[in-house]
Every structure is written in C-alpha cells, then in structure tokens.
A and B are shown apart, each in its own frame.
Chain A
Amino acid sequence: MRKLMFVSLLMLSALITFAQSSRVRGKVTGKSDGLSLPGVNVVVKGTTTGTITDLDGNYEIEVQKNQSLVFSFLGYTSQEVLIVDQTELDIILESSSIGMDEVVVTALGIKREEKSLGYGVSKVDKEEISPATGGSVLNSLQGKVAGLDLGSSQGGLGTSSRVVLRGNSSISGNNQPLYVIDGIPMTNENVSEGQGVYDRKDFGSGALDINPDDVENITVLKGPNAAALYGSRAQNGAIIITTKSGSKDNRLGVEISSTTMFDVVGEQYLPKFQNKYGQGKYDNNIPTYDISTTSSSWGPEMTGQSLTSWSGFEDKLVYSPQNDNVKNFFRTGVKSTNTIALSKGNENVSSRFSYTNTSSKGVLPGNDQKKHNLFLKSNMKLANWLKLDAKANYITQETEGGTWLGEATSNAIYGLFMLPRNTNLNSLKKYNYMDTPNDPLVGTQMNPYWTTKQDEMINKKDRFIGFAKLDFKINEWFKAFARVGTDYSVNTIEERYNVGHKQLSTGKWVKNDYTTQETNMDVLGMFNKTFDKLSVGVNVGASIQKLRNSVTFNQGIKAISNGFWNIQNFETKSSAYNTYEKEVQSVYSSVNLGYDNFLYLDASFRNDWSSTLPSDNRSYFYPAFSLSMIASELMELEQIDFMKFRLGYAQVGNDTDPYRLATTLQANTLISHEGQPLIDASEVPGVPNLKPERTSSFEAGFELRALNNRVFLDLNYYDQTTKNQILETPVSMASSYKKKLLNAGKVKNSGLELMLGITPVKNEDFEWESTFTYAKNTTEIVELYEGIDQQLLSNIEDLAGGIQIVAEKGKNGYGNIYGKALKVDGKYLLADATSFDTGTPNKKLGNFNPDALLGWMNTIKYKQFSFKFLIDARIGGEVLNGTSAILSQAGITENTLQYRESGVELSGVNSAGEAITANMNAQTYWSGLANYGEPWIVDATNVRLKELSLTYNFKLDPNSIVKGFSLAFNAYNLTFLYRAEGAKDIDPNQSWGIGNGQGYNLLNVPSASSYGFTAKLKF
C-alpha cells in the first residue's frame, strides 16, 4: 500500500507542469551505488508544483528564485535545496535508514512508524476508496487487504456487508471486526428483523454510513495483536478509519467530486429461465394448462395458444414465451454521489467541511435511497502546548423498499422469479388494488408490481458521530490527550402492508425506532524519549465506554382506512419499549522500546471492567507483546532496500451483552389476550457466573523491499485461539428453553497472509504497478462443550428439504452445510413406482467458508492516463443454491427442460431395501429433487473482474485557479471470469446479513454491475 501512496504522489506531480521562471535541471543518483534514481519526486516547497525524475534520473523543473526544491524518494532521506541562481543541480540522495518512515494509525489513534510494528497491518489510501465501488467504504477494501473476506450484500440498497478477518473465531457470537473512526469505536450494529426464510429483512449495518469521500485512509488491524489496546471488541480485528483533515494551506481549498454509477442487472446474475413451457401441471402425466391450482411452469408447450386468463382485465391470454419478463422488470439503477469539500487553514487552525449528497435508485422499482452527509473537522492550536481537535459528522438517510428477503411474501424477487414463463409483464402492471386475482401466482408470492408499489419498507436513519479531543504537549517527551466521542443514531424502520396484501389482507403497519448511542471517553499520557540509541515510549491511559440502546416497537393490524399510516388507524395495536445499557471501563498501558532503529519491542497491558459480567469475573486483564527487527539495518544486502521480521503475541478478553446474568419475566410484546398481558420467562435463562471470553494470538511476519523498491513483499502467519466462549448453545427442548448460555468452546484460526507488490515498469511516462494479495485461513473447532460435537448456527428447515448450518468439532468445521443426501449407498430411495422417498439421511454437503482469497490489483499509468483494474478470487467453499431449488421445483429454469416429453425412469430401492424402479414425469422428478439438499450445493469458487477504472488527469497551468481536474470511468462488479457450474445463475459472494448463518442463496436481489463516471475538481 505504500506503493500506492507513492503512486499517488507521482500522479499529483504528473499533473503539474511549469509555465515560467528559471529552469533547473539535473540528475538524481543514489549515494550507495551511484546509480541514477528514476521516479524521484521533485517539488517546489510550499507548492504543489513538481515533477519526477525520468528513467535515467533526470529532471527538469521551473522554479522561482529563493524557492526551495525538495527531492524525495521512498527509501531515501529527502533533501531540500534553496534555489538562488542554479540552473544545473545534481543531487545525491542518501538512503534513509529504512525508507520506511511511513506512519500508520494504530490502536487508540496513536500514530506509529510502521517499521516499529510487530504485527501486520494493511493500509488502504483514499485513492482506493471511492463511492464508485457501491457507496460503501467496505467495498473498497476487498481484494486489497489480504485476508479480508467481504460478502456482498444481498438485498438491494442499504443492506449489510459481512466482513470477516482471519476467519470466524466466535461460534455463536459476533465475528465482525471493530470499526474505529478517528480513534473512537463506532457501532456496526445491524438492525435486522426476522430470521427464517419467510420473514427476513435486512436494514444494513452501521459501517455503511461512512462517506467514502471523507476518508483519508483505512488501516486494517487484522488480529488481536494489533488491536489489543481496543480490548474486548477488537478480538476479531479492527478497521481503523481516519477521516480527512483540513490543510495548513492558507488558501481556501475547494474540492468537488461527482460520481454517477449505473447499475445493471445482467444475465450473468439471473437464473437461466426456460422459455418453452408455461403455466400448468402434469395431470395424469399430461402437461395441462392450469391457472387455478398452480403457478408452476409445468404446463404444455407455449405456441401462442389463446387460453383463459388469470387476469381480471382480460378473458383470454396469449400463451407464448416471455423470454425477458424477469430481466425487463429491473430498471437501471442510478447512484449519484456529489461532494463538495472546503478546507482552509494556517499554522494554528485548519478545518475541513464537506457535504455529500447521495441519491440512489436501485435496480428494483421502488427501492430508492437518499442520503446527506455533513462533515466538519477542525484542528486548533490553542496554545503552544494545547491543541483542540473536533469533529461533527451528521448523516441522514432514507431508504425505501427492497429489503424483504427470501420467501417473504413482500420480496418482489420471489414473485418475479416465480412468474409462469408465459406471464406478460404488461398484464401484471394492471392490477386491482384490493381484489384478487392480481397475478397468476398461486401461493404466497405476490405480483412484483403490487408489492413494489403497495408494500413499503421505509428505513430512516439519523446519525451523529463526533468527538472533541484536547492534545497537551507538555514538553518534548511528554504529551497527553483527553477525548470524548459519541456515536448516536436513531433508526426508524417502518413496514407498511397495504390492504389487499395476500397474507396480510387487512393491512399491517410496523414501526420500530432503534436508538443507539455509544460514548467513549479516554485519556492517554504519552512519554517518548530517546536515550542514545534507545528510544522509549510509554503510554498510559484509561477509558470508559458507555452503550445505550433502546427500541420502541409499534404494530397495528387491520387498517381502518387505507393508506393512513398511524397507529390510531389500526384496530389491533401492540407496542413495547425496551432499553439496554452497558459500560466498560478500562485502564491500559503500553511500552514501546526501540533500539538503534532496528529493534523494536512493544508490550501492552489492559484491564477491563465490564458491567455485563458478574462482580467476581468482571475484571479481566490481558497483555500483548510484539517484536520487530529491521534486518536490513544490520547487514548490507545487495538489492535489498528493506527487510523486517516481526513476532507478536496477544491476548484479548471479551465480555457479553447486558442482562444475561439473570432470568427475567417480560410481557409478550406481540399479543395480549383480549387486553390481558401475557408474561413470560426470557428466551434464554440467566447465568449468574459467566466468565469473559479469551482470545490469544500469535503471529509472525516478514517484510521485504528490494530492487530499488520495485518489489515489495509482506508475509504474515497467525495462529489465534478463542476459548471460554460465551455460547448460546441449543439444549433439549424438554429443558423448557431452546438454548442456554455457557462458557465453553475453543476455536483456533491459523493462516497465512501474503501481499506482493511489483513495479515491472517505471519511467517518467509509463508506470505499471501490480499488487497481489493472498490469504488462507483454517478454522479448527477444538472443542465445543462437553459431550457435544456440533452446534447449530442456523436451521433453515423449510429450504430444500431442510438445511442446517453448523459448527462442528474438527478442522474446517465452522460453517458446515448439512442437508438431505440424494441417494443412500449410491441408490435413489423411492417410495413407490411413481415417487421419491425423501427420508434419506442428512449429510455434510459443504462449508461456506472459502479456502483462500486472492486479489490482484493493477495500476498502469501513461502520461495523464491512469488505468486500474482489480481481479479478486474466492477459492473453495460451497453455497446452497436455494434459488435454483425453488425455481426448478416450479419448472421455471432451463434445467427442467430435461425429461419434459418422456419422463425419467429411476432405479433405486424402497424403504425395505428392495430394488424398484420409478417412472416420473418431469414435474415429479424436479419437484422431488427440490426436497433434497444435495442436488443444490454448488462450489462457490469464483474469479471476478471486480473493479476497473480509467482516469485522465488534466495538465493544468499551476497559476490557474483550478488546481486539479480529473475524469474517470469506473466499473464495478463487471463480470465473473470463472464461476463453477451450478453457480452461474447466482452471485456466490452474496452473504445473508452479518450473522453466522451463511452459506445459502435464496431469492436474493441479484447483484448488479455498475458503470459510471467520476469527475474531480480541485481549486
């Protein structure tokens, strides 16, 4: 990533050419070998005017008298030369000790030289973070950070993305990393309702709210080593986001950027439909047109017959194929993001203000999103010893439609995909408001036009993220800060089911208000002193974290008058209000020792007190240690610029949610009996003696830069174990509870992360950089709890004959997908001469985790052009293609053309083990098949052309008021270069929310390819 930073500098300098004054030229060489240095930055100090040296190390630049030129190059000490009247100036650059003075933001917002870190971090800079990648900063990370597994969202605009770093370590808890913005943890709570396949909604997770245009960089601290100082919540790693600050430049800086992306649902993401047979069923083995009892497409061949119509608006319909009726339902999504940022500053004060407006139309009609983001960050020097930093970020957004998932009646995808193949979209557009039939669908699916217009899901969110921080600089060796930050959001989710809805025919209204607030207060004292060759840094700090959530729930059933959304308008009302509070207090200290710029030792210690744990176990301590050695400082190695070894060990403790220590009795929020409250014991019994979870981790890494920084390698091995997990484990129903809490389990994740960067070509006009990331993780469940080898993560009993996602003892046991085997001992199990016997045993069908993740990023620059593309790959892992199962059952997809004419004869055994054969028609066969899990499991391996962009940076006169102007064409999610057979009709990367029950695709909103333009203008 440092490469990328460098590239960006290059890009900047390439923008600028000179107009007048004296011309200075010369050659830059390196001191150690005397060879010329290409690509050295030559900048007129205090300006943005600059150039870079060519292949032979030559440069030429215009500069005015008494200005200084600064020569800088990675791996070399910068030089500054005052220009009096020189016209020729050769420079010899001395290689800097490591060439790696780059600073990264680590835990608590502490900036550290990367070379001194004993753990692996990945940094992604602002150039890589763009609204073009789908509006979420998370999307910008995939393929660029080794080991980051990002599932694409699956429900249209505003649904959540699941991020996993270094594998799943918690069996039933949260496996999401901690998100930290400007040093302060933020909530990534995902508001979701419902769980099963019939009642699932996704409202997005908090991390989606961050505006990509405000991000300066993102550092990914992958393991607990890096994140130990954050405590509990960082046991899954941390994603540290730093926002942009105002410049110290005296003049008003104005940046305008505008991105418009068009989302297109292409054939590649859609089921492969058959276009030969229409609505009907096999009647005594004869395909027969039928609109009253089935909407499956098992009817006769479509040849333009005139047949009875389902529609109330016509008597007859033309029975002919509608090849594109699904594709044509989608519209081209448009997402436009416009940002204006103003910044100004001087030595003492600098500020940055930005406003971003995002307006999106999803590919599904009715799925729209509007978002406003106001951002203000200021930095003030109040005195020589006192500095004030403050930020206020207000986000308001409203999303409508599109987040019902799976077999929810209101999921338009369900109704759309299930349309008989002869359904003409135009006849669907006409529907009665209240009366059936509004569609040919026999079942709970609805006319997709009806549901996209009459059902509404409105998600409004107002969020404030802000902090104030006082920095004290007491003297050269002692600094301190005190900081308060808060993240407050109110999320209102309204579900409107209009009168006439198929299942909720009298109308229903749900309005839930989720208020969450997380406030963090911390103080930190920082001592830094160098004694001869020894540098010593000691940090001592303390923090308080307060969480407060509340949920107000309102539900009304049976509308008195239609289209009036207020609780008073409903006959049956229910409501509830619940609050949750939690506090964690911590003290911590870290000691950083550096010796002679080559050996660094870090130690950190933290103690937490959590309100969620019983008083005896409430306090928990954990240390972390790391060691970093810059080998290139010790020995002169030919062609090697930098070499580092690092080792780290860390422990992290974790608490739990509030109120889990005691059982409580609460009134049922959904029903009362004729007004009589019904009071029930809580779902999970309290456990008075819970203990904190423990994660310990070991990691070793190696970094190398060679061939004049043309090759860069970062290699990391880790091994981390989480034990004493606070598990919600299923128990016998006869215990009167479904699950109980306990401390158990031991999960080990180990793996390898690799990043390799090379610059095969680099000269003044042309540069090609290529970065390759690779990560492989192995999860081993060492133990669950006594006597139990398997824990259910998700039970999807209504899908494909019953699917279970489990965590199972053993290697790669996390996320195993179980379902019904198609055959027993290689033979079909048949009930009789005409049908399957679905009583086959369950078996392991696959696992949802990838074996390895790869990313390959390329940046090619030619003069003012910059071309970039990213290919990412996910190797291994399986996904259950539930969409295909459901559509095959209904005879909708291409595979079901098989056996239409003459049926199929299967030989197998009956339940008594006797050999029998069965003759089945296509409908019996395919709908039978849909009751097994095995036929629908597919390899999730895929290779994707994920991002592509072409940018043109205009050459500008340095004196013009326009300081920068670029135009870019972006494309995102372009195409699959490889997908396994059976997964060619889905996006195998889509996840189901951020929970642990992953591994299946069920009537997801199809992924879309995005294309568009970004214009950036800088004054």
Chain B
Amino acid sequence: MKIYNLIASSALAVTVLFSACTDDFDELNVNPNGATPENMAPAGVLASNMRKAFHEDRYEFWRGVVLHAERFSGQTAAGYNGNWWSPGDSYTYNEGWTSATWESYNTKSNNGYGGALFANSKLVLEFLKSNPDYTNAKEFEGIAKTIQAFQFLKLTDLFGDIPYSQHSDVENYPSPKFDKQKDVYAGLELVLRDVVENLLNNDTSIALMADSDLLYGGSVKQWQKFANALRLRMAMRQSTVDANTASSILAEVVKFPLPENNADNAGISRTTSTTDLQNQYWGFFSTWKGFNGEISYSWDSYNMTWGPGPGAFLPAYDIIEYMKGSNLYEGEVNAAGNLTTNINPLVGISDPRIDKFFMAPGGDAANAHKGMRPRELYVLDGGSIVSKNSHAVEGNALNYSWMHPSIWYDGGDWNPVSLDYAEVCLSLAEAVERNLVTYKQSSSDWLEAGLNASCERWGATNGSFSSDVVTRFNASTASDKLEILYVEKWISAYTVPHQAYASLRRTGSPRLSYLTKDLVLVGSYTEPDGSVTPNKQLNKYAKGSTDYALPASMRIPESEVSVNPNVPEASKDMSTKVWWAGGN
C-alpha cells in the first residue's frame, strides 16, 4: 500500500511540477531593467542623443575631434617633447583611432559613455509613428530628426560617402551600402526642410522636454532655427561644387527663421563636475597631468597648477600668425614659394580673440603668442639637422601658446558649441557676397555681425577689430573678399567640432597651410652609428599616409571593411576628396 502511495505521490509531484509551468515564461523573459520600445519616454532618449551629438564623450571627442578633425584643420599641433603623439602621427592612418571614431559616431561608444544615437532615433521615430497622439509627437519627431541629421552630417563631412538610405536597419541591412555624399546631402535637406517647414513650425514649448532638452529647454522655435541653420551650413558646403542647388536651397532657407544671436547657439553646457573625465577638453588634459611635476601659471584670471602633459595640445603656427596679423609668405615653407608677397589678407589687424582662444607662452602676457608647426620633424640648428622634438627651444611646450584655460581647466566657463550665430552670419556674408541669395543685409554687414557675435561669445574686447576687418573687406578685390571671409570663418570655427577642417577643405583657405607642404632640410647630421654626414637631406615634415598632403577625408576603417563588403575602394584612402570639396 505504502509503495503505491509513493508511486502515486511522485507521479503527482511530476505532474504538478510541469502542469503550470511555461505559461509565465514570456513574462519571465521580459527585461525588468529597462523600458520596452512600446512604453519608452522619448524625452530621456532624446536627452541622450543630444548629449551624444553636442557634448561628445571624451572617448569619441579625442578620436573624432581632437586627433583628427582638429589636427587636420591646421589649428592645433601635437608632437613636442614628451607629447603622446609624435609629429609624424598627424597624417598617419591609425586604425584604432579611426575605427573608434567611426564606431562611436555610428553606435554607442566603446567605453559606454556616448549613447546609441542612431539606434535611439529609430526607436523614438517608430514610437511616435505608432503613437501619433502622444503629446507634442510632431515636435518630438522634428527634434529627433534634426539631431539625427546633425549626426549624419558629422559622419559624411568627415568620411565622405556613407551608408544613409540603409543606415540604422540592422535587421535588413547588417552590411548597408554606401550612398554618395551628394545623395546624402540631398536626403538630409529633404528631411530638414520638412522639419523646418512642418514639424517644428509651431512656436510652442514642449513641457515634457523642459528638463531633458539640453539645448533649448523645450523651445520649438529655437530648434527650428537650428534645423534651418543646418540647411544653411549644408547649402554653403555644397555651394562650391553646385552653386545652383545651393542657391535654390538658400532661397527656401531664408523664408524661415535662422538663429538671431548667441542665445540661439546649438550647444550644451559643459558638465560642471570637474572630475568628470567625459568632460570634453577637460578630460583630455586631466587624464594625465604630465611630466616635470606641476608648474604654476595664470592667465585671464585662471590660476593653474599643471604640467604641460602629454595630452596638452598647442595651437598651430597658422592660426596664431593669422590672428596676430603677421605677414605670411609661401616661400617660408615651400622651396618653390614666393618669399616677398604676403598672402595674409588680414595682415596688420590683430584679432582680440587670440587671448581668449589661447594662453601666451608660460602664461606670461609679455610673451608673444607662438604656434607650433605641425608635423615638423627636424629643424636646422647651426647648420645641423636636429630633431625638433628634442630641440631645447622648439621642442619645449612651455615656449608655445596653449589652449585657453577656460576651455580645459577646472571651473572653466567655456561650453561646447556645435553651431554658433557667428557661423550663420559668416555663411550669409559669403552667400550674399557670391550672390547665392539675398537676405536682410549686405555681405559686409553680415561679416561684421559675425565677428561681433564671435567676439561676444568668447568675451573678447572687440575694439576696432570688426570694423577694421570690414574696412579691409570693403577695400579688397572680389577674390580677397572671399579669402577674408574664409579665413574668418576658419578662425571663428575654433573649437566648433569639425567645422574648421570642413571650411579649409571646401575653400582651400587659408591658402597657406604648412600642413600640406613638403620641405627638405640640408645640413650635417649624426647617423645612428655616430658618424656625421655633412650634407644630409631630410624631409622637414612627416610624410604621413597622404604623402605630405592634407588628408582630404578620414578613411573608412578596416574594422568596417571586415564586416561590410560594400565599402567603396575610394573610401579606403585618406586622400579621397569628399564631394563638396570637388570629389566624386
């Protein structure tokens, strides 16, 4: 009897064990640690997208902006004695940095700080599509699309042709095809036009975004202006290769509001925590204080104790000399160049922003600003070719200007700005000057407005600067006028991610960029075995991966090539010009 009871009860146990069972499995497998795409809050997701796009995380900021765009822009230099990056690195392809840039701009950044902008955008847009009655659904859509377009623009301006039509569709296109940059531009213009004319054309404020809109606190009007300004940026960028299209876009752009002052700038306040390594330039400097212990400096009411650090980067020779208003000659760096004709259209005009962009050598106002020649490997010293890096004067970071402490030091008040009113004005100055559009005022007025806005943003005492430039502008030939506009646009783009490099590539100005030149030094040289060669010839600058030339784009990294057979051959070369700079 007992036995049968037991058998019965074990049979019962088995049955009980498995009868209820798998019904609740679906529920069990729902991730409790996050929201589903069906019940998300778009505001928090867009906050991440804004931070990602406009306040790049340190990791991607180093790789995308500092190591590439800024060094390619001719505005910064690295490679002094003890720097992390040797002079030769500047134009040398680096798979790690390039793939990190490509990866971070397209997906979540490797260290987990930078968000998943494109994946987020897709989920937000799908959510809004299936919830058309969600409060401010239309405006949310407009903002989501604007940020997405901004990020696409960042990618295509750096890399040229990129996946666009098949982007962000992992299910169907794990290896998306690459679209021509021209088509990407056309596609983005369509999107942004819809954003400006429809989605964001209500002068309203989104309550749900009051805190999470890191740019404009939920002001739809300001987003509309920004989206429209992006169209202006894109139109100008393509105006050199396709003036007609640019002109017709501009005609539409000016029908809608554009940023009107610095309050409309697209930017996010820099995170205030001084310990936040993700904090743009701060994180860059603070990661490693550098050698020689610490030295005290003060500049512009900042008192600092810091070493130059291997990460400290210095202004390039060019931007300093242009801002100082120096005479510049091609022949200085190019054996074939002319040594008598000045090519600086702004010679004699000193730019007051220089003390806001930079700290004079050693933090001493008595020292003249000095920029470093990027990629410079050797200098001649008393007839001998010696390495710049170890040269007592030329290789010492303390003999050069540094980036202004407000940008990188504790408590600095600089904030990352991705598009400012000055750029809008200078773009309009060019557009009006080139008769691409007429809008409100003359090109010289726009130029003056732009310089005023830039000085205002940087807190520089304008004095007679703007009017001096305008006077010079008005007195110049047509081509010098454009040269002035381009140089000023390039200068004003300092610390605006990617813009100086884009401007330089499109306009070819400033004309004299040491970065593109190759110069041979002749002198006595000590060989590795100790012997001295009397008339040794060595290249002054590093050759890089572009044979001395300014990189025309970033190349698509091997990491992408290995998973995507659709990468075009031309995209695997840093010498390939992007479409708007005259490429295919």
Asked if A284 and B387 make an inter-chain contact with CB atoms under 8 angstroms apart, the answer reads yes
Contact with A along B503-526 (1 / 0, CB 8 A): 000000000000000000000001
Say whether A802 contacts B96, CB under 8 Å. Answer: yes
Residues of A within 8 A of B22 (CB): 585, 609, 611, 615, 618-619
Segment touching B, from A245-253, A263-271, A576-584, A885-893: A576-584
Residue of A nearest to B561 (CB): A732
Within 8 A of B (CB), among A404-435: 435
A722-762 interface mask toward B, CB cutoff 8 Å, 1 = contact, 0 = none? 00000001111111111010000000000000000000000
CA–CA, A788 and B14, complex, Å: 46
Closest to A802 in B: B95
* Stretch of B39-47, B367-375, B451-459, B493-501 that contacts chain A: B39-47
Q: A583-B28, A680-B48 are known contacts. Are A737 and B170 too (CB-CB below 8 A)? A: yes
B352 interface residue (CB < 8 Å to A): no
**Is there a chain A Cβ closer than 8 Å to B528's Cβ?**
yes
Whether a CB of chain B sits under 8 angstroms from the CB of A596 is no
Complex interface: stretch among A33-41, A299-307, A658-666, A694-702: A658-666
Cβ-defined contact, A738 with B2, below 8 A: no
Residues of chain B within 8 A of A899, CB atoms compared: 528
Residues of B contacting A674 with CB < 8 Å? 269, 271-272
With known contacts A673-B268, A833-B538, A542–B291 Cβ distance under 8 A:
no
Q: With A582-B28, A679-B45, A902-B529 known to touch, is A831 a contact of B563 (CB < 8 Å)?
A: no
How many A-B contacts if CB must be within 8 Å?
A: 293
Contact indicator per residue, chain A 500-538, by CB within 8 Å of chain B (1) or not (0)? 001101100000000000000101010000000000000
Decide yes or no whether B296 CB sits under 8 A from chain A: no
Verify B17–A735 contact, CB threshold 8 A.
no
Among the 9-residue stretches A133-141, A472-480, A1000-1008, the one with 4 or more Cβ atoms under 8 Å from chain B is A472-480
A392 at the interface (CB under 8 A from B): no
CB–CB B115/A832 < 8 A: no
Closest to B93 in A: A839
From residue 675 to 714 of chain A, which have CB atoms closer than 8 A to chain B? 676-683, 685
Q: Are B96 and A662 in contact, CB atoms less than 8 angstroms apart?
A: no
In the complex, the answer to whether B107 meets A738 with C-beta atoms within 8 Å is: yes
Known A472-B6, A671-B113, A902-B529; contact A585-B34, beta-carbon cutoff 8 A: no
| Partner-contacting stretch, out of A22-30, A120-128, A790-798 | A790-798
Residue of B nearest to A609 (CB): B22
In the complex, the answer to whether A482 meets B13 with C-beta atoms within 8 Å is yes
Give bound CA distance, A673 to B114, whole Å.
11
The verdict on A901 contacting B529 (CB below 8 Å), with A581-B28, A673-B214, A831-B543 known, is yes
Most chain B Cβ neighbours within 10 Å, of A435, A579, A677: A677
Q: How far is the CA of A729 from the CA of B171 in the complex (A)?
A: 12
- The dominant DSSP class at the B interface is loop
* Residues of chain A with a CB closer than 8 A to B222's CB: none
Judged by a CB distance under 8 angstroms, whether A668 is at the interface is yes
**From residue B108, how far is it (CB to closest CB) to chain A in Å?**
6
In the complex, are the beta carbons of B40 and A665 less than 8 A apart?
Answer: yes
Q: Is residue B559 within 8 Å, beta carbon to beta carbon, of the partner chain?
A: yes
Distance A444 CA – B287 CA, assembled complex (angstroms): 9
A678 to B387, CA, bound (A): 47
B291 touches A292 (CB 8 A): yes
**Contact string against B for A residues 344-379, beta-carbon threshold 8 Å, 1 for contact and 0 otherwise:** 000000000000000000000000000000000000
Residue of B22, B122, B272, B545 contacting most chain A CB atoms (<10 Å)? B22
Using CB atoms, name the residue of chain A closest to B31.
Answer: A659
- In A903-929, which residues have CB < 8 Å from any B CB? 903-904, 911, 919-922, 924
Which residues of the other chain, A, contact B175 by a CB distance below 8 angstroms? 731-732, 735, 787
Quick one: which of A503, A581, A664 contacts B36, CB cutoff 8 A?
A664
B7 CB-CB contact with A under 8 Å:
yes
CA distance A676 to B49 in the complex (A): 12
1/0 contact trace for B365-398 toward A, CB 8 Å? 0000000000000000000101100100000000
Most buried by A among B33, B44, B106, B120: B33
Is B29 close to A, CB under 8 A? Answer: yes
One digit per residue, 1 when the CB lies within 8 angstroms of any chain A CB and 0 when it does not, for chain B 524-543 equals 00111110000000110001
Please give me the residue from chain B that is nearest to A925 by CB atom.
Answer: B528
Which single member of B44, B276, B526 contacts A678 (CB below 8 Å)?
Answer: B44
B92-120: CB near A (< 8 Å → 1, else 0) gives 01011001001100111000110111111
Asked if A285 is at the interface of the complex by the 8 Å CB criterion, the answer is yes
Contacts of A668 in B (CB 8 A): 48, 112-113, 115
B41 neighbours in A (Cβ, 8 Å): 679
Partner pick for B33 among A579, A582, A662, A673, CB 8 A cutoff:
A579
C-alpha spacing A731/B566, complex, angstroms: 12
Residue of A nearest to B214 (CB): A673
Interface size range on B against A: 35 or more
In the complex, B173 has a CB within 8 A of chain A: yes
- Distance in angstroms between the alpha carbons of A683 and B26 in the assembled complex: 21
Q: Smallest Cβ distance from B155 to chain A, in angstroms?
A: 9
- A680 in contact with B115 given A284-B526, A731-B175 (CB within 8 Å): yes
Q: Does B205 contact A (CB under 8 A)?
A: no
> Chain B contacts of A901 at CB under 8 A?
529-530
Any B CB within 8 A of the CB of A293:
yes
Of B137-145, B161-169, B189-197, which binds chain A? Answer: B161-169
Most central of B2, B13, B25, B289 by chain A CB within 10 Å: B25
Distance in angstroms from B571 CB to nearest chain A CB is 12
Whether B107 and A736, one on each chain, are in contact in the complex, defined by CB atoms closer than 8 angstroms, is yes
B564 adjacent to A919 (CB under 8 Å) = no
A734 CB contacts on chain B under 8 angstroms: 106, 162-163, 166-168, 176, 560, 564
Q: Known contacts being A284-B390, A437-B293, A732-B560, is A679 close to B108, with CB within 8 Å?
A: no
Query: Does residue B582 face the partner (Cβ distance < 8 Å to A)?
Result: no
B215 → chain A, closest Cβ, in Å?
11
The reply to whether B293 and A436 contact each other, CB–CB distance below 8 Å, is yes
> In the complex the two chains form, what is the Cα distance from A661 to B27 in whole Å?
12
Knowing A798-B96, A839-B545, the reply to whether A677 touches B170 (Cβ < 8 A) is: no
B81 interface residue (CB < 8 Å to A):
yes
Counting CB contacts under 8 A, is A809 at the interface?
no
Q: Using Cβ atoms and an 8 Å threshold, which residues of chain B touch A86?
A: none
Q: Is A142 an interface residue (CB 8 A)?
A: no
Interface residues of A in 755-812 (CB under 8 A from B): 787-788, 790, 792, 795, 797-798, 802
Q: Which residues does chain A contribute within 8 Å of B562, judged by CB atoms?
A: 730, 790, 792
Can you add 5 more A-B contacts, CB < 8 Å, to A474-B7, A482-B13, A679-B35?
A: A558-B275, A665-B34, A681-B122, A734-B560, A901-B529
Q: Which residues of B contact A (CB under 8 A)?
A: 2-3, 6-7, 10, 13-14, 17-18, 21-22, 25-26, 28-37, 40-41, 44-45, 47-48, 51, 55, 81-82, 88, 93, 95-96, 99, 102-103, 106-108, 112-113, 115-120, 122-123, 162-163, 166-171, 173-176, 211-212, 214, 268-269, 271-276, 278, 286-289, 291-294, 384, 386-387, 390, 526-530, 538-539, 543, 545, 547, 558-560, 562-566
Can you sample 7 A-B contacts with CB below 8 Å?
A285-B528, A482-B13, A544-B17, A615-B25, A733-B102, A832-B539, A833-B538
